[in-house]
Amino acid sequence: MVVAVMGAAGNVGSKVADLLLRAGEEVRVLQHRRDLSSLRRRGAEVVTVDARNVDDLRRSFDGALAALVLLPEDLSDPAFVENRSAMSRAIRDALRDTGVGHVVALSAVAAARADAPGPPGGLHGFERDLGELETTNVLVLRSAAYMDYLLAALPTIRERKANGSAVKADVRFPMVATEDVAREAAERLRRRDFTGHRVELLLGPEDVTMAQATAAIGARLGMPDLPYVELSPDEARGALLGAGMSEQVATLLVDMQLALNDGAASEGVEGGDRSATPTRLGDFLDRALSDGAVTADEEGAGG
């Protein structure tokens, strides 16, 4: 009774694979670039896959009782939108062809909107594609912004002694820790207690501003006066390009940041079951920025 786990090298998927293995489940992990032999040593079956290739995905899902699926984000991809759309359709087709019974899909709160700016726009399409699976039970986990992604700013913080983006310093928005997302995903993959198509919101225990998040990071890095700088859209775009993102992705992310300033974080919060998750930002940062944890987390943080 195999459970297939996409993105098993990533923030959420790695934790889902770990939890399922600890619980004694038979696990198949989907390997892309990063090596997953440590999971093989723990008993997981490892299948190498490119999510743009429907045959790879069919092999990955074949015979699986349940699957975690996600839309990977290659932030350096010049054709980010087009490639994610292709992956979304390939995942849908492979799930349909293999008849996986229960699917947990990672999405975002903002994906509720058809015209969502930034990467959540692709997730809206992903949810729509999965919605076409008539005989598959699908649970969509719409998460708030991942706290883990704050760590992607650490190199810039160390170099410039400041954090910054186009998000206004005092805009509050929900943030969730990927360990809480993974716990919910793993539990639901094990219980398989959902039927039809359902949406669940994972919003974290508190809403946070970028000023608060920056102060909390600074306090743990021995930089108690670390400033948060509101960047203009052009400055924010330049910073993202400088961090290696493609033109298309940098533009999308700035659009997403500007939408947060217009209250996008509170849109889409209705219409799903809200699930409280326990991890506060301070607790997350205590763990992530403890000695020895920083390097690994910086490597694992996306954009």
Ligand X SMILES: NC(=O)c1ccc[n+]([C@@H]2O[C@H](COP(=O)([O-])OP(=O)(O)OC[C@H]3O[C@@H](n4cnc5c(N)ncnc54)[C@H](OP(=O)(O)O)[C@@H]3O)[C@@H](O)[C@H]2O)c1
Q: Which residues bind ligand X (CB under 6 A)?
A: 7-13, 32-34, 49-52, 70-74, 106-108, 123, 143, 145-146, 149, 300, 302
CB of 163 to ligand X, least distance (A): 16
CB of 70 to ligand X, least distance (A): 4
Is 62 or 74 the residue whose CB approaches ligand X more closely? 74
Strands 64-69 and 45-48, sheet pairing: unpaired
Is 152 or 223 the residue whose CB approaches ligand X more closely? 152
Cα separation, 121 vs 295, whole angstroms = 31
CB of 143 to ligand X, least distance (A): 4
Is 34 or 287 the residue whose CB approaches ligand X more closely? 34
- Which 3 state secondary structure label does DSSP give 134? coil
Which residues lie across from 229 on neighbouring strands? 164
Contact between 289 and 220 (Cβ < 8 Å): yes
CB of 300 to ligand X, least distance (A): 6
Cα separation, 130 vs 128, whole angstroms = 5
Helix (H) / strand (E) element for 107: namely strand 102-108
Is 131 or 222 the residue whose CB approaches ligand X more closely? 131
Contact between 121 and 115 (Cβ < 8 Å): yes
Cα separation, 56 vs 51, whole angstroms = 7
Q: 57 burial class (0-12, 13-18, 19+ CB within 10 angstroms)?
A: buried
Q: What are phi and psi of 198, to 5 degrees?
A: -130, 150
CB of 110 to ligand X, least distance (A): 8
**Residue pointed to by tokens 């997403």:** 256
Residue nearest ligand X by beta-carbon distance:
10
Is 227 or 300 the residue whose CB approaches ligand X more closely? 300
Helix (H) / strand (E) element for 138: namely strand 137-143
CB of 224 to ligand X, least distance (A): 27
CB of 32 to ligand X, least distance (A): 4
Is 122 or 164 the residue whose CB approaches ligand X more closely? 122
Is 46 or 221 the residue whose CB approaches ligand X more closely? 46
Q: What are phi and psi of 162, to 5 degrees?
A: -160, 155
